[in-house]
């Protein structure tokens, strides 16, 4: 399937070069994320992007290519797994795939040791799109959510990887508990999996910002809309999946 976000550089990368960057995020999710970043630009929501758990840069490069001139990105990773060479791979993929490297900061750090100021510092402003894909323990995810929340644009989006992954069932509990403490925030979209190595993502924003994104996603991707929504007690989130369908009951 050819995927399209509406940003030519992202669409070329995702459809032609994505597999040349080893990683764990799906093409489908990269396209939805880039579309949301395009929507932000159209709405005048300017800001930077950040990622915890950048690895070789598969998803990071898609986000970097979705930035407007003057916007910056920061990629954070311990860059230890499977070896420190992973950082060199990231840098060479960014060069090869047309990322404005001068606008990118690659931070070798454990996010547990960082403050929000450490992330906002190199960016010089608020973050409009923050992807969290680092340490997959509930405690670390809660910390990373706190980092992102403190520096997010009021209409910005936090995107969480590996939600509903069979290997990390308690991450969803951590998100739910974090949302109880941040009633201004909600999940507005579940981006479904393509495969077990590219599990669903949640996209979160403030309640009042959800309307900026929801209908636009439904208008642009009706063929991927799973009509039974995602239930969050006080609200529902839309579900986008590459293969929307219900079980056939004979």
Separation CA 104–CA 74 (nearest Å): 6
Strand partners, 96: none
Query: Which of 14, 23, 152, 159 is close enough to bind ligand SAM by CB under 6 A?
Result: 23
Q: Among 43, 42, 79, 41, which Cα is nearest to 60's? A: 79
**In whole angstroms, how close is the CB of 126 to ligand SAM at the nearest point?**
21
**In whole angstroms, how close is the CB of 229 to ligand SAM at the nearest point?**
26
Segment contacting ligand SAM by CB under 6 A, of 63-71, 105-113, 185-193, 221-229 = 105-113
**Binding characters for ligand SAM, 131-170, by CB under 6 A (x = yes):** --xxx----x------------------------------
Residue nearest to ligand SAM (CB): 23
Greatest CA separation for the chain: 59
Sheet strands (E) in 149-184: 152-160
Q: Does 200 engage in binding with ligand SAM (CB under 6 A)?
A: no
- Residue 148 near residue 127, CB atoms below 8 Å: yes
Q: Does 110 engage in binding with ligand SAM (CB under 6 A)?
A: yes
Residue for token pair 């900061």: 105
Segment contacting ligand SAM by CB under 6 A, of 8-16, 130-138, 148-156, 182-190 = 130-138
Which residues, 69 to 98, sit near ligand SAM by CB under 6 A? 76-78, 81
Convert 224-249 to b/e letters by CB count within 10 Å (16 or more is b). Answer: bebeeebebeeeebbbbbbebeeeee
3-state class (DSSP) for residue 60:
helix
Instruction: Give the binding site for ligand SAM (CB under 6 A).
Output: 23-25, 52-55, 58-59, 76-78, 81, 110-112, 133-135, 140
């Amino acid at each position: 399937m050819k995927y399209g976000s509406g940003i030519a550089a992202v669409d070329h990368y995702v459809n032609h070069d994505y597999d040349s960057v080893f990683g764990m995020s799906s093409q489908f999710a990269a396209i939805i994320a880039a579309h949301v970043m395009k929507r932000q630009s159209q709405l005048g929501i300017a800001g930077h992007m950040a990622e915890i758990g950048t690895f070789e840069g598969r998803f990071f490069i898609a986000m970097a290519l979705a930035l407007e001139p003057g916007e910056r990105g920061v990629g954070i990773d311990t860059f230890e797994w499977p070896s420190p060479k992973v950082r060199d791979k990231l840098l060479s993929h960014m060069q090869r795939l047309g990322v404005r490297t001068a606008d990118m900061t690659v931070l070798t750090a454990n996010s547990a040791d960082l403050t929000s100021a450490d992330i906002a510092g190199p960016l010089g402003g608020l973050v409009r799109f923050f992807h969290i894909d680092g340490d997959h323990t509930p405690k670390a995810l809660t910390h990373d959510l706190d980092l992102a929340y403190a520096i997010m644009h009021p209409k910005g989006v936090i995107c969480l990887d590996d939600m509903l992954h069979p290997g990390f069932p308690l991450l969803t509990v951590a998100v739910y508990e974090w949302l109880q403490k941040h009633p201004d925030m909600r999940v507005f979209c579940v981006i479904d999996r393509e495969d077990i190595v590219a599990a669903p993502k949640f996209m979160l924003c403030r309640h009042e910002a959800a309307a900026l994104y929801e209908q636009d996603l439904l208008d642009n991707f009706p063929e991927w809309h799973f009509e039974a929504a995602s239930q969050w007690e006080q609200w529902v989130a839309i579900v986008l999946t590459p293969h929307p369908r219900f079980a056939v009951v004979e």
